[in-house]
Amino acid sequence: MEFLVTGGAGFIGSNLVRELLKRYPEARVVVLDDFSSGHFKNLVGLPVEVVTGDLSDRAVWDELKRRYRFDAVFHQGAITDTTVEDQYRMMRVNADSMRLVLEAALEWGAKVIYASSAGVYGNTPPPMREDRGLLPENVYGFSKLTMDRIAERFAREHPELQVTGLRYFNVYGPHEEYKGRSASMVLQLALQMLKGRRPRLFKWGQQKRDFVYVKDAVKANLLALERGVSGVFNVGTGRARSFNELVEILNRELGTSYEPEYFDCPYDFYQEYTEADLTRARELLDYEPEWSLEEGVKDYLPYVKRLVR
């Protein structure tokens, strides 16, 4: 089999590459990345081919179509910094590139499994369902919603091809350190505390997130590949947890007793509360999250500790 992973040098993409190589040891895995938020160190030691290029560049896709014939495309590449306000850039990279992915997949006859986001829901009251409350608060969420709509129309026009969107909630885990300020709060707070600093939270730490461990996000991708179901699906734990709770978990695991330092939120497009309704994912993908926040943090912390010199 031949797999293309866009954004494969990034956080979720590189974890997915590792699992594909483990599950399909004879497969050819090709990574497409522009290394704007990914890092070569996420791929060191992995037997993959790398194509360096811009997702939104048609010439890149023309070259891929000439050189390869993929069985599946895992489209993870995107601008992942939700605070970016350059609307043209966000829409071109995230939304317009979706059309190029689908055009190539049509030529290959390939399955497409792509990364959408809980950002499409904005501040819709949770639990968030795939078929309602699509009111993004920022251009990042709007770009992902546009991707979903492009994919939905394509799937209607080409029912013979699988097109599956995965709306990730707040993913955390190994290999996210190169994301900088867009890395998960799990990593950012853990690093602050490991360096002897109080964890910094927006007032008053009561905002809630559906924190999902990257191993569950990868699992959802592989289930989508195996089940062959088109549509869009939430990927989370189905349980929202507050940032204050996250600090408590980190204190417990690190043996510390830091009190949060609260400060004003500088953004006017901030999501206050996210929680995934997993009914559809459970029924059609057989997706069941395996990692609670407590278990995920415990599994992740040995990796985080190695980042602190």
**Confidence (pLDDT) at 83:** 84
The reported pTM is 0.96
**Confidence (pLDDT) at 143:** 97
**Confidence (pLDDT) at 151:** 98
My answer on whether 136 and 200 are in the same domain is no
Gap between the Cα atoms of 168 and 159, Å rounded = 24
140 catalytic residue (yes or no): yes
My answer on whether 205 and 145 are in the same domain is no
Gap between the Cα atoms of 141 and 119, Å rounded = 4
My answer on whether 217 and 265 are in the same domain is no
**Confidence (pLDDT) at 80:** 86
Domain housing 186: 173-209+239-275+291-305
Total count of residues recorded for the chain: 309
Gap between the Cα atoms of 39 and 110, Å rounded = 27
Q: Which of 179, 208, 215, 219 is catalytic?
A: 179
My answer on whether 233 and 243 are in the same domain is no
What is the residue whose two structure tokens read 């071109």? 92
My answer on whether 45 and 9 are in the same domain is yes
My answer on whether 160 and 222 are in the same domain is yes
Residues of the chain with pLDDT under 50: none
Domain with residue 100: its CATH number is 3.40.50.720
My answer on whether 62 and 16 are in the same domain is yes
My answer on whether 166 and 28 are in the same domain is yes
**Confidence (pLDDT) at 28:** 97
Domain with residue 263: its CATH number is 3.90.25.10
Gap between the Cα atoms of 191 and 177, Å rounded = 10
**Confidence (pLDDT) at 267:** 77
Number of domains into which the chain is organized: 2
Q: Which of 140, 168, 172, 213 is catalytic?
A: 140
My answer on whether 132 and 193 are in the same domain is no
287 catalytic residue (yes or no): no
My answer on whether 119 and 86 are in the same domain is yes
My answer on whether 227 and 204 are in the same domain is no
292 neighbors 216 (Cβ within 8 angstroms): no
B/e letters for 272-307, b = 16+ CB within 10 Å, e = fewer, are ebbbbbbebbeebbebebebebeebbeebbeebeee
**Confidence (pLDDT) at 85:** 87
Q: Which is nearest to 223 in space by CA: 180, 166, 274?
A: 166
My answer on whether 16 and 143 are in the same domain is yes
**Confidence (pLDDT) at 216:** 98
